Amino acid sequence: MPDPRTKGAFLKELVPALRVCDIDAMRTFSSWALALAVIASAALSAQQKSDADTVRALEIKWTESYKQRNIEILSSLLSDDFVITVEDGSVYSKAGYISHSADAGTKVHVAELSDLKVRMHGNTAIVNGSYHEKGESNGKPYDYHDRLTDCWVKTGGKWQVVASHYSVPYKQ
């Protein structure tokens, strides 16, 4: 039979050891950790929504700047290594696109975006949508209905478009 005096000594050693693994403290810590994770996730989601709204507004600003041939605004929205592929497969750099946009022989009467979807991936935004442009080029009327994909990157707190692709939807 065990010595009763040893039992008390054993319990005095065991109780502090049990406190190391305090279930209530672990539950409290887990609850706080979960709450912080939820708050951080909500903050990230709000930031992504805010960034998506910003990029959507910049898409509209880009379209209006193009229509009005505002080269200064266009230049600020396009990254230095910007590249665009247009409907006929031609590829232009930033300088080529700005030169085309400044061409006095082209008069844009309608430039409108629709069905824009912005998907955020950290500091990158991918935009898909529809574009309609109507006007005159060297005295001849034109009317385009395109699909677009634009890639925006946020660097140094500033969003700029780095790549753009316009294509004519396939019709059967």
Task: Give the start-to-end residue ranges of the domains of the chain.
Answer: 49-167
pLDDT, tens digit (0-9, with 9 covering 90-100), for 75-105? 999 999 999 999 899 999 999 999 989 999 9
What single string gives the DSSP state of each residue in the chain? ---HHHHHHHHHHHHHHHHHT-HHHHHHHHHHHHHHHHHHHHHHHHHHHHHHHHHHHHHHHHHHHHHTT-HHHHHHHEEEEEEEE-TTS-EEEHHHHHHHHH-TTEEEEEEEEEEEEEEEETTEEEEEEEEEEEEEETTEEEEEEEEEEEEEEEETTEEEEEEEEEEPPP--
pTM: 0.71
Which CATH code for domain 49-167? 3.10.450.50
Give the confidence band of 169 by pLDDT, cuts at 50, 70, 90: confident
